[in-house]
Amino acid sequence: MLDLGYEWLLVINPGSTSTKTAVFKGDDLKWSGSLEHTVDDLKPYDRIVEQFSFRKQVIERALIEQGFDLQGFCAVAARGGLLKHVQGGTYLVNEQMLTDLKECKYGEHASNLGALVANELASSHRLPAYIVDPVVVDELNPSARISGMPGISRKSIFHALNQKAVARRYCREHNKNYEEVNLIIAHLGGGISVGAHERGRVVDVNNALNGEGPFSPERAGGLPVGEVIGMSFSGDFTQDQLRKQFVGQGGMAAYLGTNDARIVEERIQDGDEKAKLIYHAMGYQVAKEICACGGVLLGKMEAVILTGGLAYSKMLTGWIKERVKFLAPVVLYPGEDEMDALAQGVLRVLRREEEALIY
C-alpha cells in the first residue's frame, strides 16, 4: 500500500458549461471548485472535443492560484465519457480510448473531455490518468439484453459512477463485500436509473438516457410505442425536436413547466393537485421499477438504496419507501459525490485493492 502522503490526486469532471475540479490527499478533499465557462469562452469551438486544450489551461490556472503543483501528484482521475461498453471498474487512459473519444466514435458529450484533459495534464508530468465507472458500464445478463424486437438490443447506459460508489459505501458501512451481496439502487436525479446489483455486477438496469424506466424531472421515460410512432410521422416535429421532447423537456418539466422538485413541492404545499399527482406518479413509477428489479434478483437482496439529488426529498422518498419496503430495508444516500467516487476508484488501484483495467 502506498503511504497516504503520496496519494495526491487531481480529479476532473467536465460538464457542458463548467469543469468541476478537485484535489485529494488520500481520502481527504483538499480543494474543489467549479470552473465556469461562458458562451463567449466556448464560442470558438465548433465541437465539444475541440475544447480540451482550453479546459486544460483553465484547470492549470486554477491549480496555480490554489498553490498546487502537479509535480507532487501521483495520478489524475476523470469522469468517463461515451465509449464502447465495458465492465465496471477503474480504467487506465490509453491510446485506444483517446482515439475513440477524439473521433466521437460512440457519441459526443462533454464527459468525453474528461479523459482527454486528464491525459494532457498527466502526460506532461509523467503521471497515469484514469477514468472510473463510465456511464457505459455494461454488465447485463443475456436475457436482459433482449428487447422484443430483433435488431434492437437493450443497452446499459446509467449513473454507473454513483450507483457503484453508494453500493460500496453501503457494504463498507455494513461490513459486507460488494461482490457477495445483492442490492437494488435507484439514482434519482434529472434522469432516473434503477439497477439490480447482483454480487458486484449490475445485471439489469433501465437505460436512463434513451427512453426506459420511470419518467424523471426532465426525461419522458418509457412511453407507449404506438403513440411515439404517431408523433414521429405527424409532421409536427423534426427528429431533433422530438428527441428533445423525450430527453431534456419531458417528464415533470413537460407536465409542470419546471424540473425543480423544490418548486413542485412548494406548489403541492399550496394545494396544487396536479403537481401532487405528477410528483406522486414519478415516485410510483420508480417504486414499480424497483419492484421489477426485485424479480430479477429472485427477491433476495440486502437493501434498497435511494440516492441522487431527489433522495433529499422526504415527500418523494416517503412515497417510494411505502411501496418497496416489503422487499428489503430502504437506505437513503442523498446526493451524488462524483468527485469523491472518482478519487476512490483510483485510490483502490493505487492501494492495490483492485487492478486497473485496460480499455
Q: What is the mean pLDDT of residues 317-342?
A: 96
- Which pLDDT score is estimated for 6? 66
Domains 4-134+338-358 and 160-334 share a fold: yes
pLDDT at 152 over 90: yes
Question: Is residue 210 predicted with pLDDT exceeding 90?
Answer: no
pLDDT surpassing 70 at residue 218? yes
Coil/strand/helix, residue 44: coil
Give the tens place of pLDDT for each residue, 81-102: 899 999 999 999 999 999 999 9
Could you give the dihedral angle defined by the CA atoms of residues 227, 228, 229 and 232, in that order, rounded to the nearest 10 degrees?
A: 130
Cβ-Cβ contacts under 8 Å for 28 (sequence gap 6 or more): none
- pTM for this one? 0.90
From residue 328, alpha-carbon distances to 47, 74, 182, 261, 302 in Å are: 46, 41, 11, 26, 6
For residue 238, pLDDT over 70 is answered with yes
**Closest to 179 in 3D by CA, of 209, 202, 205:** 202
CA distance 54 to 117: 9
Question: Which pLDDT band, with edges at 50, 70 and 90, does 4 fall under?
Answer: very low
Q: How many CB atoms lie within 10 A of CB 128?
A: 18
Phi and psi angles of residue 355, each rounded to the nearest 5 degrees, phi first = -90, 145
Please give the sequence-ordered ranges of beta strands (E in DSSP) within 37-85, or none if there are none.
75-79
Q: Using CA atoms, how far apart are residues 279 and 251, in angstroms rounded to an integer?
A: 10
Interval 278-301: pLDDT, tens? 999 999 999 999 999 999 999 999
Parallel/antiparallel/unpaired status of strands 90-92 and 146-149? unpaired
Asked if the model's pLDDT at residue 136 lies above 80, the reply is yes
Q: List Cα–Cα distances, 117 to 222, 276, 346, in angstroms.
A: 35, 44, 16
Residue type, 279: Y
Domain boundaries, the chain: 4-134+338-358, 160-334
Which cell numbers in the block locate residue 356?
Answer: 486497473
For residue 175, how many C-alpha atoms fall within 13 Å in the half-sphere facing its CB? 0
> Which residue has cell 476512490?
344
Which fold would CATH assign to domain 160-334?
Nucleotidyltransferase; domain 5 (3.30.420)
Q: What is the pLDDT of residue 256?
A: 97
Percentage of the chain beyond pLDDT 70 is 98
Q: Which CATH number fits domain 4-134+338-358: 3.50.50.60, 3.40.50.720, 3.30.420.40, 1.10.600.10?
A: 3.30.420.40
Percent of the chain whose pLDDT exceeds 90: 87
Tens digits of residue pLDDT in 267-276:
999 999 999 9
The grid cell for 289 is: 421499477
Q: How do beta strands 75-79 and 129-132 pair? A: parallel
Q: 75 forms bridges with which residues in the sheet?
A: 9
Tell me the backbone φ, ψ of residue 115, rounded to 5 degrees.
Answer: -65, -35
Determine the Cα–Cα distance for residues 82 and 137; give it in Å rounded to an integer: 10
H or E stretch covering 116? helix 113-123
